[in-house]
Structure 1
Amino acid sequence: MAKTRALLHRHGCLPSPRCPLCDANEDLAHLFARCVRLEPLFALVEAPAAGAVHDLEGVCAALAAPLQELAPPVRHTLVLLILWVVWKSRNRKVFDDVWLRARHLATLLSEHCELWLHRLPRRLSRQPVESWLARLRTSVL
C-alpha cells in the first residue's frame, strides 16, 4: 500500500486504503502502472507495457521506451509529465470524486507538454517533441 494513502486512511482522511478507481490494493506500482484504468492512457502514449511492471523504475522504463528518439532530458521530462498527470487524476478522484477518462488525461498531458515546450532549453530540438505531441493529439481525436 502507498505510504501516503495508508497514512491518510489511518488519520481518517480517506475511507479506504484501496485504489479509488478499481478497488484493488494500492501500492506505488498500482498507483502509477497496474491500475486497469490507466491502460487506455498508456495505449495513447504508445507504452502499453507500462501496465505490466511491478515497480516505479519499471514504469519509468516502460514509459520511456517509445521515446528513445528524444534526447534524454526531453525523454525524462515527458515521463515525469505522464506520471504527474496520473497523480493529478488520482487526486481528482480521491478529493473531488471526479474520474477523468483517458482522453481527458491525454488532453491534460498535451497541455502540460505545451507549457513545458515554451521552457525547452535552446540546445534541445523542439521538432521531436512537437512530433510526439502531434501524435498524441491525433490519437485523442
Structure 2
Amino acid sequence: MDLGSLLPGNGMEQLWTVKPIQEHNQRIRATVLTCILWNIWKCRNDKVFGGEDEANGQIARRCFDDLLLWSHRCNSPMDRDRIVEWSSFFIRE
C-alpha cells in the first residue's frame, strides 16, 4: 500500500510493475480503484467541459473525502476500518 517506492520521473509504467494497490480484500480493492477512477473522470470532465485545470493534490483530497464517505456504507467494521485506512493514504501531511 506504499506508493513511496514510485519515482516521479519514471512514468505511468511503474503503476503496472510496482502494483501499489495491493489489497487482498477484493471489495476493498474495487472500492479504492473505483474511487481513484471516479475522481480522475471528474477531473477530466472539469477540464473538457469547464476548462479548469486541477492539481493532483485536489484529486487526492477528493479521493480521501470520497473514501471516508463511502466507508459508512460498509457492513463490516473491519471493512470500514480498512477503507478509512486507505483514505488516509491519499493525504500526506
Class of the TM-score when normalised by the shorter of the 2 chains: 0.7 to 0.9
Distance change in 2, residues 1:116/1:86 (3 Å): same
Q: Percent identity?
A: 26
- Residue 42 of structure 2 corresponds to 88
Aligned to 2:12: 51
RMSD: 2.7
* TM superposition shift of 1:123: 6.9
In the alignment, which residue of structure 1 is the partner of 2:56? 102
* 2:68 paired with 1:68: no
Matched, 1:119 2:73: yes
Structure 1: how far apart are the matches of 2:37 and 2:72? 20
> Relative CO higher for 1 or 2, CA cutoff 8 Å, sep ≥ 6?
2
Contact preservation (8 Å) 2:47, 2:53: yes
How far does residue 130 in structure 1 lie from its aligned partner after superposition?
Answer: 1.9
TM-score, normalisation: structure 2:
0.74
Pick the structure with greater CA Rg. 1
SS of the residue 1:126 aligns to: helix
8 Å Cα contact 2:43-2:59 kept in structure 1: yes
SS of match in other structure, 1:98? coil
- TM-score normalised according to structure 1 size: 0.51
Q: Which amino acid aligns with 2:27?
A: P
Unaligned runs of 5+ in 1: 1-44, 54-58
